[in-house]
Every structure is written in structure tokens, then in C-alpha cells.
Amino acid sequence: MATNDQNDKSVNTQDEIRDEVLWKKAKRRASFRYHALIYFIALIFFWTMYYISLRSSDVPAFDRNPVPWPVWPMMGWGIGLIFHYVSAYSRSDILAEKEYEKLKNKNNLK
């Protein structure tokens, strides 16, 4: 009976660890979705401000900067958003698990 109790405890412990891993992954993905939402809201605001400033400007079209200023924050923040996506949805957990198993096997051989 003691072995069954020990096996049940080890299975429960492993399930709790796996659930913690899934919880962290879910939090990273939810964080990315929130980040993407804020990104798009901010871009709508930037482009709206840009078009409002165009209408009220007396500068002729040929004297304006050929690249609208909202492009720069859009690109810079977009790069950060891409990195956030990669960290939230990458399969690095599988690579880390393989590396862990490799190191564990290497240490068991010594």
C-alpha cells in the first residue's frame, strides 16, 4: 500500500508542476494579447493625431516629411511586440526540456 501512496504523491506532484508550467505559459500569452491590444489602441491614437495635425497645418504637401511620424513608433514598438510574441508562443520549453534531459543523463553517467 505504501508504494501506491508514494506513486500517487509523485503523480500529484508532477501534475502540480505541469500545471504551474501551463499557468506561466498562459500568463505569458495573456500578457502578449494585452500588449497587442494596447499597441493597436496607441497606433489608432497616433494616426488620428497625425491626420488631425495635417488638416490644421498650413504647410504644403510637398514640404512635409515624406514619412509620417507615426511610422517610427509603429516600427519600434512593433519590433518589441514581435519579441514579446516569440517569447509567449515559442517552443523554447521543449528545447529547455531536451537540454535538461541531456544534462541529467550526462550527470548520471559520472
How many structural domains is the chain composed of? 1
CA distance 11 to 3: 12
Residue-range definition of the domain harbouring residue 101: 2-109
Q: 109 in the Ramachandran plot: left (φ > 0), alpha (ψ -120 to 50) or beta? A: alpha
Instruction: For the full predicted model, state whether its pTM sits above 0.75.
Output: no
- Residue-wise pLDDT tens digits, 43-99: 999 999 998 988 877 777 667 778 889 999 999 999 999 999 998 888 777 777 788
